[in-house]
Homo-oligomer: A and B are copies of this chain.
């Protein structure tokens, strides 16, 4: 009855468990407070094995947060708002844990900050490509950080005013504001 699992498969599984535990912990408490021992414990494994598989805590973190450049192609000029709403998990209930892990540490861990800047930069580029006017890039940046703020308040800080609010309500209230930022009319 003991499952006979080949070695390669077995290795891949434990490596996956470690990575999952790491993502989860990084997302929950951030880089500094997520200790290798805690990750190993959550994965049911010896701390030394984590090192043997990933080399260092830093590399473990990189592997844990490395995924999905998030957004897809550049959206059409009139879908920008919907695209922006889609990013950063306001539409879906929850952001993938790897993204949460990165966002959680972006203010205190240099490497995470670099990743965040790169990710947000790409997002800004995408959005800017769908806007017109010479303020395009600046407006794209504002659209992005606005959504960042909503995400931070909602998923990281878990402000009670935003919890248990159906995502459609958030989207409905945000849409006009985002449209105002995307439009090129000046006051």
Contacts and interface: CB of A to CB of B under 8 A. Distances in A.
A135 B187 contact: no
Interface of A: 29-33, 103-108, 113, 116-117, 120-121, 124, 135, 137-142, 144-154, 156-157, 159-162, 165, 169-170, 172-181, 183, 185-187
Of the listed residues A30, A161, A181, the one surrounded by the most CB atoms of chain B closer than 10 A to its CB is A161
Given A104-B107, A107-B108, A142 B148 contact: no
Contacts of A139: 173
Contact of A149 (B107, B152, B175, B179): B152
Nearest to A170: B142
A159 B32 contact: no
B108 A33 contact: yes
A150 B159 contact: no
A149 B153 CA distance: 9
Nearest to A149: B149
Contact of A141 (B104, B152, B161): B161
B176 A120 contact: no
Contacts of A31: 108
A111 B148 CA distance: 22
A32 B175 CA distance: 38
B108 A104 contact: yes
